[in-house]
Amino acid sequence: MKRSDAEKRIAGLRDEIHRHDHLYYVEAKPEISDAGYDGLRKELERLEAEHPDLVTPDSPTRRVGAAPRSELPSIAHLRPMLSLESANTPGEARNFDGRVKRSLGRNDIPYSVEPKFDGLSVELIFEHGILKKGTTRGDGFRGEDITPNIRTVGAVPLRLRGEAPALVAVRGEALMPLGDFQQLNRWMTERGLSSFANPRNAAAGSLRQLDSRITAERPLTFFAYEIMMIDGAVHPPTHMEELDLLASWGFRVDRHKKRCRDIEEAIAFHASLAGERDSLPFEIDGVVIQVDSTADREALGTRTRSPRWALALKFEPRREVTTVEDIVVQVGRTGKLTPVALLKPVDVSGVTVSRATLHNAGEVAKKDIRVGDRVRIKRAGDVIPAVVERIDVKGKRRGKAFTMPSLCPVCRARVAGEGAYHFCSGGVSCPAQLKRGIEHFASRHALDIEGLGGKTVTLLVDTGLVGSVADLFSLTRDSLISLERFAEKSADNLVTAIEEAMRIPLSRFLYALGIRNVGEHVARILAGHYGTIENVTAANEDELVEIHEVGPEVARSVAGFFREKRNIELIDELKTLGVEIVPEKRREGPRPFAGKTFVFTGMLEQITRDEAQRLVESLGGHASSSVSVKTDYVVTGKNPGSKAAKARELGVAILSEAEFRKLAERP
Ligand code: IVH
């Protein structure tokens, strides 16, 4: 075939396949047989193989996944990806409505309502209609680059239909439908792989793969719900029209959407969707209620993390009744003992629940839960199912009351009470604590060692190959292959994954150590304050409490942890084994806005409101939305609102945008 003919045919095939993809994945109305579709794809693949220079990233053949990557790079969002204020009751929704009315100074506020999808929030960037980037939400400011993965999702258009603006950022939710989720879990269980706890984790796990060919095999879908940014066209005047525009570009937009005259209509929609929830093919966990008019939204503005014009009205957690078959005691990473009810498996809308936490001995006693009892359990989103209450069954003989064991069920060390909880005193000599500790050390936000999940850790500890986190770094291909579960490839993979984790930023390392009360946030604060591991280990309690956001309890745990000789020895051993703890940039000492509260009003011209608020926070200050006697500064932009007047009334200092910027720049 002549090159120019091939080019024409390729373009024709792509249009045809895009059209069929849209009919199949978005409209669920296929017009062609599977064989017919495969024929088109095969022909396109063949022509592209003959003319590799004609391959473009928006070709439907690019949906199959690309070569694996070594990491998911983090990239900044074009605009911060905000989250939603959430509410659980109609009363809270009415309060929200009241705030909106007061701010806008009118009473007729139409709202748009739609499902709150329970999946993974994703940002997609299209340049001149072509999909260029896909990112996870991350912390709202930066997310992970999942471009090759998102391309494999059939419901994501690789190119927009119709008139496409120069640049557009679309936000939506990636989901795994319930039926597909169950099928995937069965498939994984049959192969001895650990299954996903719920469809949301399955979607997130599938999209965060380094190998997008795995993502391509996972049945994901995507619903679009927001145009975060548009350049080269105007933003539609209402949210309902925004959704229509998204649909016209070829996105899947859910049919449960409505413009409501007022908040009562929105609340009624919530009730009606709650009734329909169990018959939907995917998980939703509430209704998103948003001011419909774009102009009104702009007038309302946003807080640091969430807009003032939107609310997530959640559904009640799902409840089911089942029987307690046993109560076992689980030992956590810190040695905490948690009573867990083993249940007769029960399906809670698509997810089989066979265990539920009973929290602590006091809870078991208060709810009086015993083996053999009928209980009501609840499952909300991705939290561990919990036992809500016992259901009294008349005339039924009951089992013995539960008591906490006095010895650790795993290592037989003494159990000590501490407040409401009980702890095993065995430390890392308790295999359970050791295993959980290693799992935590290897987990995603710590060293992120792929392939080192619960089952593998149990195997490594039980066979004596690993007795501390340091031993991980002496594992070899040969020692792993000697274990039954490891083939050559999986042994190589694990050794490589461990090697790759040996250069670790200080904040992640601190988090990985599993110090009590030190989560990711505190770990980042400590890393930012001290810069190096040597400085952190030398810190004393008095010095620690001085750090902003570090309370006495945290200070005590941190200082206590590094006072223990064996912990210092562990860190030294890790360094000797070649673990490189990468120092972090210290945040320059003084925080000029510490203790100061800022309120912004009116339109800022040099920077966005969000940027200004983040600036305040980065300098140690606090940004608030309302003026009171506690406010230190009110910063006024163009057309300042009533807040400026209130500031004058209360004698609060008023700054122009320029003055504010000068203040922020002063060393
Ligand atoms: S609108 C400014 N609409 O719920 C926020 N969010 O914390 C714009 N979500 O992270 C979001 N379904 O990922 C919106 N129909 C929907 C949604 C939705 C799910 C997610 C979103 C956000 C989280 C709320």
| pLDDT at residue number 549 | 77
Q: What distance in angstroms lies between residue 221's CA and the mean position of ligand 1's atoms? A: 16
| pLDDT at residue number 99 | 95
Please, is 212 exposed, middle or buried when counting C-beta atoms within 10 Å of its C-beta (0-12, 13-18, 19+)? buried
Mean pLDDT of the 573-579 span: 96
* Secondary structure of residue 288 in the 3-state scheme: strand
Q: What distance in angstroms lies between residue 310's CA and the mean position of ligand 1's atoms? A: 9
| pLDDT at residue number 650 | 87
597-665 CATH fold? Rossmann fold (3.40.50)
247: enclosing H helix or E strand: helix 239-248
Going by pLDDT thresholds of 50, 70 and 90, the confidence category of residue 359 is: very high
Instruction: Please answer whether residues 526 and 558 qualify as being in contact, where contact means their C-beta atoms are separated by less than 8 angstroms.
Output: yes
Is the pLDDT assigned to residue 383 strictly greater than 70?
Answer: no
For the Cβ of 118 lying below 6 angstroms from any atom of ligand 1, the answer is no
Quick one: tokens of 591?
């925080």
Which residue type is seen at 105? G
User: What is d(CA 285, CA 269) in angstroms, rounded to the nearest whole number?
Assistant: 14
Q: What distance in angstroms lies between residue 227's CA and the mean position of ligand 1's atoms? A: 12
For the Cβ of 173 lying below 6 angstroms from any atom of ligand 1, the answer is yes
Tens digit of each residue's pLDDT (9 = 90 or more) over 518-568: 998 899 889 989 999 999 999 999 999 888 778 899 999 999 999 999 999
Is the pLDDT assigned to residue 589 strictly greater than 70?
Answer: no
For the Cβ of 82 lying below 6 angstroms from any atom of ligand 1, the answer is yes
Residue with tokens 């009294």: 392
User: What is d(CA 181, CA 203) in angstroms, rounded to the nearest whole number?
Assistant: 9
User: What is d(CA 346, CA 377) in angstroms, rounded to the nearest whole number?
Assistant: 10
Is the pLDDT assigned to residue 281 strictly greater than 70?
Answer: yes
| pLDDT at residue number 604 | 86
Which residue, judged by its Cα, is nearest atom 16 of ligand 1? 116
| pLDDT at residue number 116 | 97
* Secondary structure of residue 203 in the 3-state scheme: helix
Instruction: Please answer whether residues 44 and 10 qualify as being in contact, where contact means their C-beta atoms are separated by less than 8 angstroms.
Output: yes
Phi-psi region of 448 (alpha: psi -120 to 50; beta: other; left: phi over 0): left
Going by pLDDT thresholds of 50, 70 and 90, the confidence category of residue 76 is: confident
Which residue type is seen at 567? N
| pLDDT at residue number 614 | 74
What is the bridge-based pairing of β-strands 120-127 and 111-117? unpaired
User: Would you tell me how many other CB atoms lie within 10 Å of the CB of residue 200?
Assistant: 22
For the Cβ of 287 lying below 6 angstroms from any atom of ligand 1, the answer is no
User: Would you tell me how many other CB atoms lie within 10 Å of the CB of residue 115?
Assistant: 25
Q: What distance in angstroms lies between residue 144's CA and the mean position of ligand 1's atoms? A: 18
Question: Which atom of ligand 1 is found nearest the CA of 115?
Answer: 15
Q: What distance in angstroms lies between residue 14's CA and the mean position of ligand 1's atoms? A: 32
Q: What distance in angstroms lies between residue 384's CA and the mean position of ligand 1's atoms? A: 22
Question: Which atom of ligand 1 is found nearest the CA of 83?
Answer: 7
Q: What distance in angstroms lies between residue 84's CA and the mean position of ligand 1's atoms? A: 6
Least confident stretch, 17-31, 154-168, 442-456, 604-618: 604-618
Superfamily of segment(s) 426-582: 5' to 3' exonuclease, C-terminal subdomain (1.10.150.20)
Nearest to 103 by CA among 656, 657, 643: 643
Mean pLDDT of the 162-185 span: 94
What is the bridge-based pairing of β-strands 633-636 and 653-656? parallel
| pLDDT at residue number 590 | 61
Going by pLDDT thresholds of 50, 70 and 90, the confidence category of residue 629 is: confident
| pLDDT at residue number 588 | 57
Residue from 8, 101, 116, 662 carrying the catalytic annotation: 116
Q: What distance in angstroms lies between residue 99's CA and the mean position of ligand 1's atoms? A: 20
Is the pLDDT assigned to residue 381 strictly greater than 90?
Answer: no
Q: What distance in angstroms lies between residue 228's CA and the mean position of ligand 1's atoms? A: 12
Question: Which atom of ligand 1 is found nearest the CA of 118?
Answer: 19
* Secondary structure of residue 236 in the 3-state scheme: coil
**Alpha-helical regions (H) of 196-238:** 199-207, 212-217
Is 116 designated active site?
yes
Which residue, judged by its Cα, is nearest atom 23 of ligand 1? 83
Mean pLDDT of the 165-171 span: 95
What is the bridge-based pairing of β-strands 597-601 and 633-636? parallel
Is the pLDDT assigned to residue 354 strictly greater than 80?
Answer: yes
Which residue type is seen at 482? S
What HEC string does 109-161 produce? CCEEEEEEECCEEEEEEEECCEEEEEEECCCCCEEEECHHHHCCCCCCCCECC
What HEC string does 375-404 produce? EEEEECCCCCCEEEEEECCCCCCCCCCCCC
| pLDDT at residue number 524 | 87
For the Cβ of 113 lying below 6 angstroms from any atom of ligand 1, the answer is no
| pLDDT at residue number 666 | 64
For the Cβ of 663 lying below 6 angstroms from any atom of ligand 1, the answer is no
Which residue, judged by its Cα, is nearest atom 6 of ligand 1? 116
Quick one: tokens of 137?
């939400």
Cβ neighbors of 153 (< 8 A, separation 6 or more) are 174, 215, 220, 221, 222
User: What is d(CA 266, CA 250) in angstroms, rounded to the nearest whole number?
Assistant: 27
Q: What distance in angstroms lies between residue 416's CA and the mean position of ligand 1's atoms? A: 44
Q: pTM here?
A: 0.65
For the Cβ of 116 lying below 6 angstroms from any atom of ligand 1, the answer is yes
Quick one: tokens of 75?
């990239």
Least confident stretch, 342-351, 399-408, 529-538: 342-351
HSE, CB side, 13 Å, CA atoms: give it for residue 353. 30
For the Cβ of 303 lying below 6 angstroms from any atom of ligand 1, the answer is no
For the Cβ of 61 lying below 6 angstroms from any atom of ligand 1, the answer is no
Instruction: Please answer whether residues 229 and 135 qualify as being in contact, where contact means their C-beta atoms are separated by less than 8 angstroms.
Output: no
What is the rounded end-to-end Cα distance, in angstroms, of the chain? 68
Return the CATH number of the domain spanning residue range 321-391.
Answer: 2.40.50.140
Quick one: tokens of 666?
């002063």
DSSP conformation letters of 444-472:
TTTT--TT--HHHHHHHHHTTS-SSGGGG
Quick one: tokens of 219?
């049945």
In CATH, the architecture of 3-64 is Orthogonal Bundle (1.10)
HSE, CB side, 13 Å, CA atoms: give it for residue 123. 28
Question: Which atom of ligand 1 is found nearest the CA of 137?
Answer: 10
Q: Report the DSSP beta bridge partners of residue 174.
A: 120, 222
Q: In the chain, where are the structural domains located? A: 3-64, 85-314, 321-391, 426-582, 597-665
Is the pLDDT assigned to residue 382 strictly greater than 70?
Answer: no
**What's the whole-number average pLDDT of the chain?**
91
Q: Which residue has the higher pLDDT, 108 or 618?
A: 108
85-314 CATH fold? D-amino Acid Aminotransferase; Chain A, domain 1 (3.30.470)
For the Cβ of 600 lying below 6 angstroms from any atom of ligand 1, the answer is no
Tens digit of each residue's pLDDT (9 = 90 or more) over 432-477: 999 999 999 999 889 999 889 889 999 999 999 999 999 999 999 9
Q: What distance in angstroms lies between residue 341's CA and the mean position of ligand 1's atoms? A: 33
**How many residues does the structure list for the chain?**
667
For the Cβ of 146 lying below 6 angstroms from any atom of ligand 1, the answer is no
Please, is 66 exposed, middle or buried when counting C-beta atoms within 10 Å of its C-beta (0-12, 13-18, 19+)? middle
Going by pLDDT thresholds of 50, 70 and 90, the confidence category of residue 594 is: confident
For the Cβ of 311 lying below 6 angstroms from any atom of ligand 1, the answer is no
Best residue for ligand 1 mutational test, from 173, 283, 285 (most atoms within 8 Å of Cβ):
173
Crossing angle for the helix pair 454-462 and 431-442, to the nearest 10 degrees? 130
Residue with tokens 């406010």: 631
Please, is 420 exposed, middle or buried when counting C-beta atoms within 10 Å of its C-beta (0-12, 13-18, 19+)? exposed
For the Cβ of 283 lying below 6 angstroms from any atom of ligand 1, the answer is no
User: What is d(CA 601, CA 199) in angstroms, rounded to the nearest whole number?
Assistant: 41
For the Cβ of 257 lying below 6 angstroms from any atom of ligand 1, the answer is no
Q: Which residue has the higher pLDDT, 281 or 641?
A: 281
Going by pLDDT thresholds of 50, 70 and 90, the confidence category of residue 2 is: confident
Best residue for ligand 1 mutational test, from 136, 200, 282, 288 (most atoms within 8 Å of Cβ):
288
Going by pLDDT thresholds of 50, 70 and 90, the confidence category of residue 242 is: very high
Which residue, judged by its Cα, is nearest atom 17 of ligand 1? 116
Best residue for ligand 1 mutational test, from 114, 200, 225, 251 (most atoms within 8 Å of Cβ):
225
Cβ neighbors of 633 (< 8 A, separation 6 or more) are 596, 597, 598, 599, 652, 653, 654, 655, 660, 663
Instruction: Please answer whether residues 20 and 30 qualify as being in contact, where contact means their C-beta atoms are separated by less than 8 angstroms.
Output: yes
From residue 67, alpha-carbon distances to 135, 148, 159, 214, 401 in Å are 18, 9, 22, 10, 57
Handedness of CA 621, 627, 633, 637 (dihedral sign): positive
For the Cβ of 307 lying below 6 angstroms from any atom of ligand 1, the answer is yes
Mean pLDDT of the 629-633 span: 90
Per CATH, 3-64 and 597-665 having the same topology is answered no
475: enclosing H helix or E strand: none
